[in-house]
Chains A and B, each alone.
Chain A
Amino acid sequence: GDSVTQMEGPVTLSEEAFLTINCTYTATGYPSLFWYVQYPGEGLQLLLKATKADDKGSNKGFEATYRKETTSFHLEKGSVQVSDSAVYFCALTPNTGNQFYFGTGTSLTVIP
């Protein structure tokens, strides 16, 4: 069945470091892909999305490219800030039916 696998955390970075959080997926057909961010004690917020191969989603300095050949959707940011400390979830929907599949989340801590 469809699924999402993302790198395990926790990840700790210094401020202004480069961030990569890996996400790979398994799906039949052509899913839509998403990254969500969850700040402590809050719900998930949509960070960015991509709906077809080679699409690049971007928001708040984060970006991810839908790579069908490697079934990946890695999240990147060139220079992280303390305020980026949160848990990041990769997700997909297969575009048929109403299911969403979430990864297990990657905790990011950015230290000054």
Chain B
Amino acid sequence: SQTIHQWPATLVQPVGSPLSLECTVEGTSNPNLYWYRQAAGRGLQLLFYSVGIGQISSEVPQNLSASRPQDRQFILSSKKLLLSDSGFYLCAWNSGGSQPQHFGDGTRLSIL
């Protein structure tokens, strides 16, 4: 069966520090991969999605970036975090088309 892993589960970082969040999927090949951010009490904001290695689509201009170095690995990064980057970050995958997305457990990021 397919599983998705996100880490770390929680992270506290100072303003201006770098960020790297990792997401991996097991049990499937060539998944579509997605990064979302969820502000407290709010809905989901799509940040990036990828349909293949090295292929990244950005939905919202910001100081975050994403990379897909391997088929089932999706990384969210920042060189310098802002206070506004605080939130709950969710990774998701699906096999494309009309298939449902499946989510990881999320990373709660707090910026001090």
Contact = CB atoms under 8 A, between A and B. Distances in A.
B46 A100 contact: yes
Contact of A42 (B46, B100, B105): B105
Contacts of A44: 44, 90, 92, 101, 103
B98 A43 contact: no
Interface string A53-91: 000000000000000000000000000000000000101
A46 B49 contact: no
B105 A34 contact: no
Which of A41, A95, A98, A102 has its CB near the most chain B CB atoms (within 10 A)?
A98
A85 to B, nearest CB: 15
Contact of A102 (B44, B96, B97, B102): B44
B56 to A, nearest CB: 12
Given A43-B90, A51-B98, A103 B105 contact: no
B11 to A, nearest CB: 14
Interface in A15-66: 31-32, 34, 36, 41-46, 49, 51
Interface residues of A, number: 23
Contact of B42 (A34, A43, A46, A104): A104
B101 to A, nearest CB: 6
Nearest to B9: A41
Given A98-B49, A100-B34, A34 B100 contact: yes
Contact of A43 (B51, B100, B103): B103
B27 to A, nearest CB: 16
Given A43-B90, A44-B90, A102-B44, A32 B98 contact: yes
Nearest to A43: B103
- Across the A-B interface, give the 4 residue pairs with the lowest CB-CB distance, nearest first: A43-B103, A104-B43, A32-B98, A44-B103
Interface of A: 31-32, 34, 36, 41-46, 49, 51, 89, 91, 93, 95, 98, 100, 102-105, 107
